[in-house]
Amino acid sequence: MFNSFKKLTESLTKTKDNIFGKISHVVSRRKIDDELLEEIEEILIEADVGFSATMRIIDTVKEKAREQRLSDGEEVIELLKQEITEILVQDEHPLFKPGDHKPVVWLIVGVNGVGKTTTIGKLATYFSTQEQKKAMIAACDTFRAAAVDQVVIWAERAKVDIIRSQEGADPASVAFDATQAATARGVDILLVDTAGRLHTKANLMEELKKIRRVVQKANPQAPVYTKLIIDGSTGQNAISQVKVFTDAVGCDGIIVTKLDGTAKGGVMIAVAQELGTQVDFIGLGEKVEDLQRFDAATFAEALVK
């Protein structure tokens, strides 16, 4: 626990510097006034906190500063931390719903290069070692050369079964076979790796819908969840990706990757404000252990500490 918190705070260093570092600089020896709040507003927007969360933060800070009759600029920091924590901390978001049939199927989707395949490797390890669940992988990214080989390596690392086919095979048929195999072998969770790019975006969305239909056909009782991977280092673009995928194929949870080493982690505040409680995991590196269950209170603590 201590080590994972340390890892989280270290990973968020650049984001913290980008938000609180810059704000500490501007508030020093200043009075709280509209001009100062405007400068803070700009910093938050530039740090990818998003427009609506930024407005909420600034309005609350202004109101509280007035209520508590604060005038010293440095006192703003504490108010900011409180409000950011309020935005981040939301209800519990369980990974499995009571009464879920086996196998639970997670379709791992997202644009190319966000970290889908890597996250699948990490998730397979997480489920087998932390949750004592039997995990299996379906290699349904048959579009890109070497995609299957890449996910096979992750399956070996995680020591879980993988169902694969030739490059160029129909991804839906791999998903069908994998769902049948997972059902027969008593698998708890089937992780489906999908392509991030096809000839067109419409093609990609159609294929994802088809994979979902086929999984449901192979086992009508299997609950299918679409989990969207977003790259935390892309900042605000992440929010529009969530909207596009949610509209096209639904989204039952988000995993934000690459929060290590980026200064754009403020996007987590934007995600929490705009999209609520949906973040399941965060990715903090390229190794199998660099995945953490997203806990809003812990994340907030690490960010504002």
Contact residues toward ligand GTP (CB under 6 A) are 110, 112-118, 141, 144, 147, 196, 257-258, 260-261, 283-286, 290
Smallest gap, in angstroms, from Cβ of residue 193 to Mg ion? 6
CB neighbour class for 13 (10 Å; exposed up to 12, middle 13-18, buried from 19): middle
Question: Which of 15, 18, 54, 117 is close enough to bind Mg ion by CB under 5 A?
Answer: 117
CA distance 181 to 283: 29
Closest by Cα among 168, 194, 202 to 105: 194
User: What ranges in 68-200 are assigned the alpha helix state H?
Assistant: 75-88, 116-130, 147-158, 171-184
Q: How far is CA 260 from the centre of its chain?
A: 13
Smallest gap, in angstroms, from Cβ of residue 230 to ligand GTP? 10
Residue 268 CB contacts under 8 Å (≥ 6 apart), including other chains: 88, 232, 256, 259, 279, 282, 299, 303
Contact partner, 223, from Mg ion, ligand GTP, none, Cβ < 5-8 Å per class: none
Residue 116 interacts with Mg ion (CB under 5 A): yes or no? yes
> What residue is closest to ligand GTP based on CB?
196
Smallest gap, in angstroms, from Cβ of residue 167 to Mg ion? 13
The window from 81-89, 112-120, 152-160, 220-228 that contacts Mg ion (CB under 5 A) reads 112-120
In order of 47, 82, 211, 256, the CA distances from 20 in angstroms are: 10, 13, 44, 21
Size of the site for Mg ion (CB under 5 A): 2
Residue 56 interacts with Mg ion (CB under 5 A): yes or no? no
Smallest gap, in angstroms, from Cβ of residue 226 to Mg ion? 16
The window from 12-20, 31-39, 59-67, 115-123 that contacts Mg ion (CB under 5 A) reads 115-123
Which residues bind to Mg ion, rule: CB under 5 A? 116-117
